[in-house]
């Protein structure tokens, strides 16, 4: 039987350091969040969920969810952990679930598929699989179902990476396709910097 692997795009935050509306700010002609949605939708994940929260109506007016179902986190102000719980509720019956941040535009469908490929190997079904670029590792992260209960107990801004760091004996790191994969946007300066990048830095 083919394992069920889902993907959650976490996009409920208000973007305070950006000054608001971060996820719908334009990057190379489309909203920042659209890149993560497109990566999830173009991947091998069986089903995808977009978790929105702050200014959800504006976000959904600006972004095409593609094949992602949409879940609204009414408690988004409680931090990232609340969005993880909402996403896991939508994927409670999956064998594994990938957590993907909505503000990392250089994560691709190929990155997500590689996580699934590694996890599907016979020896990895009870592991945590995470991408890395150079010396940095971060979301997206794939979690096995055995992790879901503990992840639901996270609170505040305790996110997917923090939980993964606690599972060091079970963690598998997989190289990202693009060395800029973990470039995210927290401030307007970050967005300007990403707009000025000439080409992706593809791993040789």
Section 151-163 average pLDDT: 78
Range 58-87 burial, b when 16+ CB lie within 10 A, else e:
ebbebbebeebebbbbeebebbbbbbbbbb
117: pLDDT strictly greater than 60: yes
**pLDDT value for 204:** 37
Helix pair 109-120, 32-41: axis angle to 10 deg: 40
User: Residue 200's pLDDT band (boundaries 50, 70, 90)?
Assistant: low
**pLDDT value for 139:** 82
In this predicted model, which residue has the larger pLDDT, 135 or 90? 90
User: Residue 186's pLDDT band (boundaries 50, 70, 90)?
Assistant: very high
- Give the tens place of pLDDT for each residue, 51-96: 999 999 999 999 999 999 999 999 999 999 999 999 999 999 999 9
- Residue 130, Cβ density class (10 Å: 0-12 exposed, 13-18 middle, ≥19 buried): buried
Residue % of the chain over a pLDDT of 70 = 89
In this predicted model, which residue has the larger pLDDT, 46 or 135? 46
Average pLDDT, the chain: 88
202: pLDDT strictly greater than 80: no
This model's pTM is above 0.85: yes
Report the CATH fold assignment for 5-196: Spore Coat Polysaccharide Biosynthesis Protein SpsA; Chain A (3.90.550)
């Amino acid at each position: 039987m083919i394992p069920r692997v889902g993907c959650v795009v976490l996009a409920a935050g208000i973007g305070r350091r950006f000054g608001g509306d971060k996820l719908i700010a334009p990057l190379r002609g489309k909203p920042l969040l659209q890149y993560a949605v497109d990566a999830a939708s173009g991947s091998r994940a069986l089903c995808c969920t977009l978790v929105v929260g702050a200014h959800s109506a504006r976000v959904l007016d600006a972004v095409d969810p593609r094949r992602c179902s949409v879940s609204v986190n009414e408690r988004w102000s409680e931090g990232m952990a609340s969005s993880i719980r909402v996403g896991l509720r939508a994927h409670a019956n999956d064998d594994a679930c990938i957590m993907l941040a909505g503000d990392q535009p250089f994560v691709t469908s190929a990155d997500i598929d590689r996580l699934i490929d590694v996890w599907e190997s016979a020896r990895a079904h009870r592991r945590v699989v995470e991408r890395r670029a150079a010396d940095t590792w971060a979301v997206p992260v794939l979690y096995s179902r055995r992790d879901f209960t503990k992840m639901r107990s996270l609170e505040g801004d305790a996110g997917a990476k923090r939980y993964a760091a606690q599972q060091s004996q079970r963690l598998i790191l997989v190289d990202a396709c693009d060395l800029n994969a973990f470039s995210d946007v927290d401030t307007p300066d970050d967005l300007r910097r990403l707009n000025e990048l000439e080409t992706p830095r593809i791993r040789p």
